[in-house]
Amino acid sequence: MALLVLWEIASRSGTIPQRTLAAPSAVLTTMFQMIASGELPGNLAVSALRVISGLAIGVTAGLILALVSGLSRAGEVTVDPLMQIKRTIPTLALTPLFIVWFGIGETPKIALIAFASIFPIYLNLYSGIRAVDVRLIEGARSFGLSRFELIWHVILPGALPSLLVGLRYSLSVAILVLVVAEQINASAGLGYLINNARDFMRTDIIVVCLMVYAVLGLGADWLVRIIEQRALVWRPSNVAS
Amino acid sequence: MDARLSFQADRHPADRGQNSLRAVPEPIVRLTNFTRAFGDNVIISDLDLEIGKGEFVVLLGRSGSGKTTLLRTLAGLDDATGQSVRIPGSRAVVFQDARLLPWKKVWRNVALGLRGLTGLVRDKAERALHEVGLGHRLDAWPLTLSGGEAQRVALARALVREPELLLLDEPFSALDALTRLKMHELTLALWQAHRPAVLMVTHDVDEAIALADRVLVLDQGRIVTQERITAPRGERSDVARGLRQRLLSALGSGAEHASVIPFRQSHEAFA
Ligand SMILES: Nc1ncnc2c1ncn2[C@@H]1O[C@H](COP(=O)(O)OP(=O)(O)OP(=O)(O)O)[C@@H](O)[C@H]1O
Ligand SMILES: [Mg+2]
């Protein structure tokens, strides 16, 4: 709070020039204008759609791959080495390749987000499945559960906490990649707003967009927390509250 | 003595005395020449065992003597192909750690793997939980139970299947003495009501004497002693003294201490 006041005073007095960083009051005014004009909600929706589609694809793929390699020996042998190789490639380094493959429309952006969000899900769910207490599995097996029942009642619930950790990582990676991917010749979205603002040296707009990115990140975290509280009610820490 | 048993006795003439103790009406478990090894490490060798219908057998043995290994075979958890192992189809196990699924409410743990309509299954599970005195914790999460309560849920989960063979692996060893006595009463009451054959593993000689129809001592991969107790439960104080002596000596108490390095020696080494 004190920082905000200091920032405001510095801007007013001219210590921080407008083109370096806009004053908080200017940022707020700009934000309300952008909301009122529909500029911010419209572009935010475009960005959100990119994250959501990318995540949907990435999380689904990560889930399937982790289930295949976590639950079957053959799957482990085929899928896991591929995923380990994939892990060594930084996603953002693939940007040029994706542009060549998918052009400069929505596809490469969504593809990058999807690609980046596969791995946290895969790694966490896979190791979660592997780490399910063998004694619980054995106990359940002694009651004559079928393989499917074993997976459904024991292995998947046991791996759920790890999956949620993976989901949290995936969400933050997705937003990170979104920021970079939107620098690719976008004609809408938060990244487009930032690029435009840069060209006109509108630091107020840039700050507004940064704030929105931060809110997106916080929102994603909050979402996973809610899911965790619902899905993991059995944990003593959750039971107590 | 019937033909089958005399046949067995003929194969192990030296064991004749023990085999007569093993004369069991209608055995529902029968292991013949059972052997189990991990690599070169032979844990159980040439073991013969029969358990009769509704019989309460307690298995004693030193740590590492292979009790759990034997119990796992009877539970059908270990592959025993190529061996002469006969076990009934309906079995249930209570492990030393209750092994409840923490993400399922207590009654769902009891109902695990039961087939049928949800309402009927829930009724059954509830009845079993009432039987073990946990009717008020039906919807509790397992991680909020005390050790004794968790063990009672495990007992309910085993009994709800109406098993012919109930296997208990040191089920009460983590409980305090008083709770353990209560659990003994409960176990006996449930056993008398449902009459499964029971094989219970324990370290506690007094527990064995209080509960068993027959006590076995496992050592070096064989059953070295069997004691059949005919005195009714609760009136065993007369026989208990002698029994305890015999069982403890069969357990070879003291034999291990030869290899223990006294603590003080290593202490002096630092001085
Ligand atoms: N899967 C396994 N692989 C290798 N060795 C094993 C395995 N399971 C058991 N053993 C060995 O077999 C021996 C007997 O083990 P077991 O668990 O049956 O002992 P126990 O009589 O139940 O002992 P305790 O009273 O301490 O529970 C031990 O020496 C153990 O190390
Ligand atoms: Mg054991």
| DSSP conformational letter for B53 | T
Which atom of ligand 1 is nearest to B61's Cα?
A: 21
pLDDT value at B265 more than 80: no
Q: Tell me the ligand closest to B72's alpha carbon.
A: 1
Could you give the CA distance from residue A23 to residue A17 in angstroms, rounded to a whole number? 9
Atom 28 of ligand 1: nearest residue by CA position: B64
User: Do A61 and A118 form a contact (C-beta atoms < 8 A)?
Assistant: yes
Residue-level pLDDT at B4:
39
Cα nearest neighbour of B106 on chain A: A234
**Residue B73, ligand 1, Cβ within 6 A:** no
The tokens describing B40, both together, are 């070169």
In chain B, which residues have their Cβ closer than 8 Å to the Cβ of A153?
101, 104, 112
Residues of chain B above pLDDT 90, percent:
15
Q: Tell me the pLDDT tens digit for each residue of A158-177.
A: 999 999 999 999 998 998 88
pLDDT of residue B249: 83
Neighbours of A48 (CB within 10 A): 17
Closest of A239, A157, A154, A156 to residue B141, by C-alpha:
A239
Instruction: Check residue A127 and give its pLDDT.
Output: 92
pLDDT at A55: 93
Average pLDDT, chain B: 80
- What is the greatest pairwise CA distance in chain A? 77
pLDDT of residue A203: 85
B102-127, pLDDT tens digit by residue? 999 999 999 988 888 888 889 989 98
Q: What is the DSSP secondary structure assignment for residue B136, as one 8-state letter? A: G
Residue that is written with structure tokens 């001085």 in the block: B271
Q: Which residue has the higher pLDDT, B3 or B72?
A: B72
ipTM above 0.90, yes or no: no
| Predicted local confidence at residue B2, as pLDDT | 39
Digitized pLDDT (tens) for each residue of chain A, 241 residues in all: 788 888 888 887 877 777 777 788 888 888 888 888 888 888 888 889 999 999 999 999 999 999 999 888 888 888 888 888 888 888 888 888 888 888 888 888 899 999 999 999 999 999 999 999 999 998 888 888 888 899 999 999 999 999 999 999 999 899 888 888 888 777 888 888 888 888 888 888 888 888 888 888 898 889 888 998 888 888 877 655 4
| Residue positions counted in chain A | 241
**pLDDT for res B16:** 39
- Would you tell me which residues 127-186 of chain B have a C-beta closer than 8 angstroms to some C-beta of chain A? 141-144, 157, 161
Q: What is the pLDDT of residue A87?
A: 81
Q: Which two tokens stand for residue B105?
A: 């409410």
The stretch B174-188 carries a mean pLDDT of 85
Residue B200 phi, psi dihedral angles, 5° rounding: -120, 130
d(CA A7, CA A1): 10
DSSP state of B199: E
What is d(CA B9, CA B32) in angstroms, rounded to the nearest whole number? 12
The H helix count followed by the E strand count for chain A is 12, 0
Relative to the alpha carbon of B220, which ligand is closest? 1
Retrieve residue B50's tokens. Answer: 């029969």
B65 Cβ inside 6 Å of ligand 1: yes
Beta strand B41-52 with B165-169 is unpaired
What sign does the CA torsion over A177, A181, A183, A187 have? negative
> Rounded CA gap, B113 and B121, in Å?
10
- Average pLDDT over every residue of B172-198: 86
| CA B202/CA B173 separation, integer angstroms | 8
Compute the Cα dihedral for B212, B213, B217, B222 and give only its sign. negative
- The arrangement of strands across the sheet holding B91-94 comes to B91-94, B165-169, B197-202, B56-61, B214-219, B222-228
CA distance A163 to B127: 36
pLDDT in tens, B8-42: 333 343 443 444 445 566 788 888 888 888 888 88
For residues A166 and A127, the answer to whether their CB atoms sit within 8 Å is no
The token duo for A66 is 């982790």
- Provide the pLDDT for residue A146: 86
Residue B49 confidence class, pLDDT cut points 50, 70, 90: confident
Tokens of A146: 């079928």
Write out pLDDT tens, residues B128-171. 898 888 889 999 999 999 888 898 899 899 988 888 899 999 88
